[in-house]
Amino acid sequence: MLKSFLHYSKSQQIGIILLFLIILVAQSIYFFKDFNSVYKVDKGQAAWLANQRIIDSVQLQQANYKPTIYPFNPNFITDFKGYKLGMSVEEIDRLLAFRKQNKFVNSASEFQAVTKVSDSLLKAISPYFKFPDWVKNKKNNYQPFENKNYSKAEKVIVLDINEATKEDLMKVYGIGDKISDRILTEKEKYGGFVSMEQMQFVWGLSPEVIENLNKYFEVKSAPKIKRININNASVKELSQFPFFKYALAKDIVIYRSMNGDIKTEDLSKIKGFPIDKIKIIALYLEF
C-alpha cells in the first residue's frame, strides 16, 4: 500500500490524506455526539404534568358523582330541575303547560298522568315528592265546610290579616298547623303584610287556599313597619331587607349613583329587580 501510495503525485497524496482525516473526524463526531432530540418542557406544561394524577382522580370522582336529591314539590319543577331529574323536554313542557292553567298535581300518579314519564323514572323520583301538608291530610282531617266557625248561615266576619292568630288562620279550609306558622313567620319577617297579594309568596299555599284566605282576611290598616329609604340606605342596609339579596342591593346603589334619586317608576330599570313584586316591594320603601 505504501509503494502504491508513493506512486501518486503529491497533490493526490494530500487529497487521500485529507479524505482519511475527514472520515476519521466524522466517525469521531458520530461516536461521541448524542444526536437524540431534546424535548424541552416549559414551566406551565411541567406543572400540568405534575398535577395530572390529581386531575385524573377528580375526573374519576366526577364520573362516579351522583347528585343528591332533596325533597321537592313537583308542581314547581323548572326546565333545569327537570333535566337533572332525567325528564325529557316534552315531559317538562307538559307539566309547565298544565301549571299555566293554575292547576296542581297532588300525587305521584297525577304527576305521571300529566307528564307521561316512564314507570322507571317515576319510581326513581317519586320518593322525593313533597306535597303541602293539607294535600296529605285532607282525607283524614276533612270536615264539611259548613261545620266550621265560618258557616254559610253566618255572616262572614273579615279580619285584619296582621292581627290574625294561628287559631284564626287554621279555621280556613286548607291551612294546617305548619302552613299557619309559615304565614305568621312571613308576617314577622316583613314587619306586617301590606297586601293580600303577598300570600302567593308563601310556600305551600295553593290558589284555592289563597282564595279562601281572601274571603276571611284583608289588610284593614297599614301596618307599622319601618320603611327603607332606598335613596339613602347603604348596600348593607338594603341587603338586610328580605326582598333584596346582596347583589341586588349593590345594583341599586350603583343605579342610584349613576342616575340620581330613585323613584317608583325607576325600580323596573334596575338590573335584577323582581318585576313581579314591584307593587309589593314599593310599599315597604321610602322614596
Q: State whether 209 and 240 are in the same domain.
A: no
Measured distance CA(287)–CA(278) in Å, rounded: 14
- pLDDT of the residue at 58: 66
pLDDT of residue 217: 93
Question: pTM for the whole thing?
Answer: 0.42
Residues 102 and 123 in one domain: yes
Range of the domain at 123: 74-131
pLDDT of 116 reads 92
- 271, 102, 287: which is closest to 200 by C-alpha? 102
Q: Which own/partner pairs from 255-263 qualify as long-range (CB within 8 Å, at least 24 positions apart)?
A: 256/230, 256/231, 261/231, 261/287, 262/230, 262/231, 262/287, 263/287
Distance CA 245, CA 249 (A): 6
How many angstroms separate the CA atoms of 283 and 264, rounded? 10
One-letter amino acid at 248 equals L
C-alpha cell at 129: 315528592
Closest to 162 in 3D by CA, of 104, 102, 118, 222: 222
Is residue 259 in a domain? yes
Same domain? 127 vs 152? no
The reply to whether 156 and 173 lie within a common domain is yes
Distance CA 199, CA 214 (A): 9
Does 174 lie in the same domain as 122? Answer: no
Residue partners of 89: CB distance under 8 A and separation at least 6: none
Residue 258 lies in a domain: yes
3-state helix, strand, coil in the chain (%, to 5): 60, 5, 35
Do 276 and 237 share a structural domain?
yes
Asked if residue 172 is part of any domain, the answer here is: yes
> Do 194 and 176 fall within a single domain?
yes
Q: Are residues 155 and 125 in the same domain?
A: no
Where is the domain boundary, 108, 131, 154? 131
Residue 126 domain-assigned (yes or no): yes
Q: Which residues of the chain have pLDDT under 50?
A: 142, 144-148, 150-153
pLDDT value of residue 1: 62
In a domain, 282, yes or no: yes
Do 117 and 162 lie in one domain? The reply is no
- What is the predicted pLDDT for the residue at 183? 92
Domain total in the chain: 4
Has residue 36 been placed in a domain?
Answer: no
pLDDT in the model for residue 169: 92
Same structural domain, 183 and 235: no
Residue 38 lies in a domain: no
Q: Where among 197, 218, 239 does a domain terminate? A: 218
pLDDT recorded at residue 145: 46
Q: Could you tell me if 257 and 193 lie in one domain?
A: no
Those residues whose C-beta lies under 8 Å from the C-beta of residue 16, and which sit 6 or more positions away, are 5, 8
- The residue out of 131, 149, 169 marking a domain boundary is 131
CATH number at residue 243: 1.10.150.280
Residue 67 lies in a domain: no
Q: For the domain that residue 187 is a member of, what is the CATH number?
A: 1.10.150.320
Same domain, 116 and 82: yes
DSSP notation for 194-258 = S-GGGGGGSTT--HHHHHHHHHHEE--S------EETTT--HHHHHTSTT--HHHHHHHHHHHHH
